[in-house]
Structure 1
Amino acid sequence: MLETPGRLRRLAEELEEVGIDLGGVERDALVEEVDRALRPPVHERRIPSSGSIVHPRTAPELWARETGLVITRASAEGQPIDAARRFADGLSSWLVRSPDGPIEWLVFNRPAGSERDLGVIARATGATIVQRHPDGLVRVVGATGVLRWDGYGWHHESPIDSWIDVVHSCGDPHDIAITRDLLDFAVHDLGANGIGALLVYRDTETSGPDVDHKLPVPPPIRIDRPTDLAPLRHALAQIDGAAVFGPDGVLRQLGVHLMPSDEAARTVDGFRGTRHTSGLRYSYDDPAATVITVSEDGPVAVFRRGAILGRSHPVV
């Protein structure tokens, strides 16, 4: 589908409305790449994935170290932009559009197309990442966080740092690193994969309110150990109930049914669905807990002491 000035202008306005800053030099290139991701060419009923790294701001020699990837760079100079895009799958190969140089390709030694990967690449390159995943999800990842297009509307997740600021503004002694790891996992592993969950982080070894234990004691999975995240995500996709973490970030309980007190039920209004209401009311009963809820359609909310500290932006 050919790009038209009117369509690109409307898309630019839409992106600005949902939080993307288009005031920089990358405006035209970024809008073009997002438009292409939303409206890819179709060949014999096959819709290709794609990926572009728009206007990187850091030195290329730092990218491999910062991402942990083996990166091969290849010039695409002389290639029409549409032709160059055909070789960028948004997993192992990427198109780079720099403001002061010709277009080029990056090829990684392994696929790096998860939302968590995109955040790492965006931070390492200082760029805005545009991806159309093989499953059809379109993501725009950069300094303003993550935008996801699900075919119906945009969903915006703010940068994790903004969540951290909100959580710690209440002055409670939560470990910042563990809080960050939990939020990162909630947003980029659970929400990004449509896995609903309740995560409870308790900053004390003392017992909390009564809960209903549905499952055996889990293995000591650590939220700050990257190799533990895949099995944790896999387990949470199969169960209801909360995952409870101790002050050291170790999983203590799994599949826990939170049972808010009568006082919490009277005092704290319901919020969204059953999962969110249960988590919000539990946080009222347990002053030592920060509760993170993830909806299966992606939005994340953070509760403490019966109050909503932060939540995802709605789909627009």
Structure 2
Amino acid sequence: MPQKIVIVVQARMASSRLPGKVLMSILGKSLLARMIRRLQMVQHRVSIVIATSTQPEDNAIEQEALKLNVPCYRGSIDNLLDRHYQVGKLYEADMVLKIPSDCPLIDPAVIDQALHYYFKHKGQFDYVSNLHPATWPDGNDVEIMTMDCLTSAWENATRPMELEHTTPYIWENPQLYRTGNITWETGLDYSMSHRFTIDYQADYDFINAVFSELYPVNDGFTCQDIIDLLQRKPEIYELNRQYAGVNWYRHHLDELKTVSPEQTRSLQQADPELTITSL
């Protein structure tokens, strides 16, 4: 029997750094709409569900999902693990893919690679990602987990970090779960040097510039197309260079067992010219 694969896109309006970022306009459509369209290019048969919170401000997310004809689940504001579990349960998933809504440049082929790897080794893994270790540019994050694995994490995870970030309980406990990882076939590691995700205005400027350059020519542009563009036009790379390597790990290094300080940067490490007041 074919397995039912559900991609969960976690999205919310609240953001301490860039409120409302998922509905910011990219070539006349919301960033969320642009990302959903890229997810719809995945070759494997998948269902897509937007998972937001029950907070009133996230009514806008639900309205956008309705406009995009994509199902929307509303749950806990802080417990993302519960949101993913409830979506998986509601839609009778065999596998759940976690794709954050701040990755509008994600390459659909990367998702297909991860799924191909999982099915090539069917029955050997509970969890497969491209993040442990990461090699693709930040913003190509793919995490696959079986429903049994997700259920187990939901039943056992208790720390706020584990609930907020959905999957740490899984990859922090390799003695409990069979985990696999795929790496960028180029052999390169751009995870700390290239940033295709959005948290800051500079990230929006970068993403908008990439879409403006590549989308009119090829709406299914790839990760390699972006890299080639940045080589031709390094001024686009410079738009958010100062935030390269800045990720959520930096807040939890004292809790994470499998993440080293070399896998994250503070804002000042990323750009020493930033002052304390600008942080």
Same fold at TM > 0.5:
no
Structure with the larger RCO, 1 or 2 (CA within 8 Å, 6+ apart): 2
Larger proportion of strand: 1
Q: Whose radius of gyration is greater, 1 or 2?
A: 1
Q: What TM-score do you get using the length of structure 1 for normalisation?
A: 0.25
Larger proportion of helix: 2
